[in-house]
Every structure is written in structure tokens, then in C-alpha cells.
Amino acid sequence: MPNKKTVGFFGGKFLPFHMGHIYLGVAASNKVDELCCVLSSSKNRDRELCERDGIKYIPAEKRLAWIGESFNNIENMKIIHIEDEHWDYDYDWEEGANLIKRAIGKPIDFIFSSENDYTELFKKHYPGAQHIVVDEGRETVPISATEMRKNLYDHWDKLPKSVRSYFAKKVVVIGTESCGKSTLVKKLAKFYNTNFVDEVGREYCDKYSNQLTEDMFNLIAMEHFLRQDKASQDSNKILFVDSEAVITQYYLDMYFKGKKSALVNEIARLQNYDLAIFLEPDVKWVDDGLRFAGDEKNRRENNEKLKKMYEERGIKFVSINGNYSERFDKARKLVDGLFQ
């Protein structure tokens, strides 16, 4: 008779999922034949926890994606999602255990956690299963989810890249042509030791000598949107972005006399920034061979037109002006305010 395969599980709310959870999962996977990672979620409870500790709410599907990406090559692991509507202080351990046992569908031999305090509860509700404590003193990854929620940006190195992407602050710098967007974005990124995303439309203008076609604006908006998600994974708590989809629509209108793009508008609706800095056109206009609206009358009119496009969409921005030094100092104070 073949030997019975050993089955174990570890679980949690994973608010947020962090490197300690990854270590626990990897260590546990080495000790059993089959391992289940159980996400227990409750919209009300989880939302309250996030709001209480000052981080944005993390939907269960987002946490499941993080878990799936982190453990995608561990062949003996299965991911299980259990929805319950119990609060932490009133958690029904018996009902919760029944839900987990039914979901796993096999006798459970081992339960893995990082806390000895759960031993008696596990003995009561999972008779026959052995509780194995992994890294009890949290020496390997010195963090808990509670500490992470309360001081997330102080423990940035304990977050997997995919989770960093969700929490990285995004600051977009907007305005009309030759108002210093690219210059400010690059200098801010250097100062904060992080990444930035270039204006993709500018790359297209260089590549095609300003001979753009109407359909290129859809490609510009999509590529710019996707670059931001990728860049935020490797960013140091914050990502700076040069321009966005509303500006792409603004230039489409300029190039093709009133043309609109449903796709660009949808991307503008989907994008989300923690801060939008609008640069007034009060620095010297620079003719780089690709720009075409440099006289003061056009600059003022285009500036008001772009502002109106943001206002019509309900997009809030902070307007700053002055010379390059003044702009940098004003922008830095606004960025610092995001972490206070």
C-alpha cells in the first residue's frame, strides 16, 4: 500500500501580502507533499482594518493575484479562497475550521504559522494535525502584517515587487508643451532615488518626425499606461510620470482638429494618481523642432483648454509656477506631503 501523502496548510488575511508570508509558504512547502495557502477574506472586516491602519483597501482578488504570482512555480501548493463575514474579535474558529477543512477536502496533517499562540486553538479545531511554527521570532523576515499596515513605507523592502506596484505613490506632471514637465520629472526622480516614466508621445514624435497618424494616439496612451505599472514594481515608494492620457487626447485634438478617441478617454478614466502637478507655461518656450504653439497667445489659450479638459473629467490638480528652481521646491513639498 503506497504511503499516504502529507497535507498541510497555512492561512491568513494577507493584509498586505509580504515577504514573511513568502518565507512561510516556501518553508512549509518543503515539509509536506501537498500544501494549501488559504486566504480568508471579509469585505467589511478587511476594509475596516485597512482604514484603521491608514492603507488603501486591498480587494481579495488583488491579494489572490499576489499570492498566485509569488508561488506560481511551487508545484505542491494550492491556493484556496474562503469568504467569511466575521470580524477578528468575534471570529468563529469552529465555523472557520469547518470551512477550511471542507475546502481542502483531505485530512490535514500539518498547520503552519509563525505564532505559538495559535497552538491550543489548532489542537481544538484541527484534532490530529500538528502545528509547526516557522520562524517564530521573525528573525528571517522581521515583520508582521500589522506592523506592515501601520508603517508600510518604512518597511518597503519587505514587500514583493507586485505588492509594491499597488502601493507606490504615483505623481504625474502635466501641462502644455515646453512648460518643463520632462525636466521636473527627471529631477524629482533623481532626488527621491526612484523611477520615472517618459512621455511616450514625445518618443513617437521623434521616431516619426512629427508625422503621426490618428491611430498612433491609441498606441501612445496604451503603452504609456502599461509602462507605469511595470515601472512602479521597481520604484522606491514613489513613481513620477511625465504626462498621461488626457494630454494624449489634447494632442490628438490639436493634430487632427477636434478628433476624439474612446480608447484614450477610457484610459484617462482608468488611470489613478496620488498627485497631479500642473505646470503653468511661464518658463521660456523652447523650439526643439517638434513644437508648434510658442507665441504667448497660443500658450495661454492652450493652457486654459487643457485645464478645462481636466476640470470636465473631475480630475484634481495642483498648479505651480515660477522658475525651474521654484518649481522643484514647490513640487518637492507637495510630494513630501503624500507621506505625512
Distance CA 337, CA 335 (A): 5
* Domain spans in the chain, listed from the N-terminal domain onward: 7-162, 168-337
Distance CA 244, CA 225 (A): 8
**Span 197-232, pLDDT tens digits:** 999 999 999 999 989 999 999 999 999 999 998 999
Residue 1: pLDDT band (50, 70, 90) is: very low
Residue 284: pLDDT band (50, 70, 90) is: confident
CATH 3.40.50.620 for domain 7-162? yes
Residue 92: pLDDT band (50, 70, 90) is: confident
Distance CA 34, CA 316 (A): 50
* pTM to 2 decimal places: 0.89
Counting Cα atoms < 13 Å in the Cβ hemisphere of 81 gives 14
Which of 5-19, 73-87, 100-114, 242-256 is predicted least confidently? Answer: 73-87
168-337 architecture in CATH? 3-Layer(aba) Sandwich (3.40)
